[in-house]
């Protein structure tokens, strides 16, 4: 491996799956603005995840639509005028 290209400021960070409230602690350099206090009484930086291995259909075997924060609706609203123009041409 090349020397001097890896960060030195690793710290313990909580990664929380927002779809099922599962969390895990890992060392990371991910930038965070929020913190969370766990049962051990310590406060950790918090990284919110939309999906993790505890909610991903590949790992759970359950197929479900994951639409966090209305991403599909935001997409449709953003391109509504474009889709309307395209439909008028037909």
Residue 18 within a domain: yes
Residue 26 within a domain: yes
Supply the pLDDT for residue 65. 57
Contact between 82 and 76 (Cβ < 8 Å) = no
Residue 2 within a domain: no
* Predicted TM-score (pTM) of this structure: 0.61
Per-residue pLDDT of the chain (90 residues; tens, 9 = 90+): 788 888 888 999 999 988 888 899 999 999 999 999 998 999 999 999 887 777 766 666 776 655 666 677 777 778 887 777 777 766
Residue 54 within a domain: yes
Supply the pLDDT for residue 67. 60
Which residues form the domain of 53?
A: 11-89
42: left (phi over 0), alpha (psi -120 to 50) or beta: beta
**In the β-sheet with 11-17, what is the strand arrangement from edge to edge?**
22-28, 11-17, 43-49, 34-37
Counted domains in the chain: 1
Supply the pLDDT for residue 58. 67
Residue 62 within a domain: yes
DSSP letters along 54-82, please?
Answer: TT-HHHH-------GGGHHHHHHHHTHHH
């Amino acid at each position: 491996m090349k020397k001097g290209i890896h960060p030195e400021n690793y710290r313990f960070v909580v990664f929380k799956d927002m779809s099922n409230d599962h969390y895990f602690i890992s060392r990371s350099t991910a930038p965070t603005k929020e913190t969370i206090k766990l049962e051990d009484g310590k406060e950790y930086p918090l990284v919110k995840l939309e999906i993790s291995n505890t909610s991903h259909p590949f790992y759970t075997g359950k197929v479900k639509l994951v639409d966090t924060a209305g991403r599909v609706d935001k997409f449709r609203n953003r391109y509504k005028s474009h889709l309307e123009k395209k439909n008028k041409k037909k």
